[in-house]
Amino acid sequence: MKRKEFNLKVKGASKADLVSQAKSISEELMKLRFRKASGQLEQAHQIPTLKRNLARVMTALSAQNNSAVN
């Protein structure tokens, strides 16, 4: 998924959706780290991409929490 599409999807998501996305992205990141450590990972560029996507989701989640407080 392209970056702009991902950002639009994240901005329009509810809090529960963002939490589930963050959980699934972190699980996928953990699996990729294990595959990298065992030498089975062929597409190493996926790790930084997932890290960025996780940061985007967490930023949107934080923004929603801050707007609910204020």
CATH for 37: 1.10.287
Number of domains in the chain: 1
In a domain, 2, yes or no: no
pLDDT at 6: 81
Q: What is d(CA 18, CA 2) in angstroms, rounded to the nearest whole number?
A: 18
Give the C-alpha distances (Å, rounded to integers) separating 68 from 13, 36, 42, 63. Answer: 15, 39, 42, 9
Q: Is residue 7 part of a domain?
A: no
Q: What is the pLDDT of residues 10-63, one digit of tens each?
A: 888 899 999 999 999 999 999 999 999 999 999 999 999 999 999 999 999 998
Containing structural domain, residue 43 = 14-69
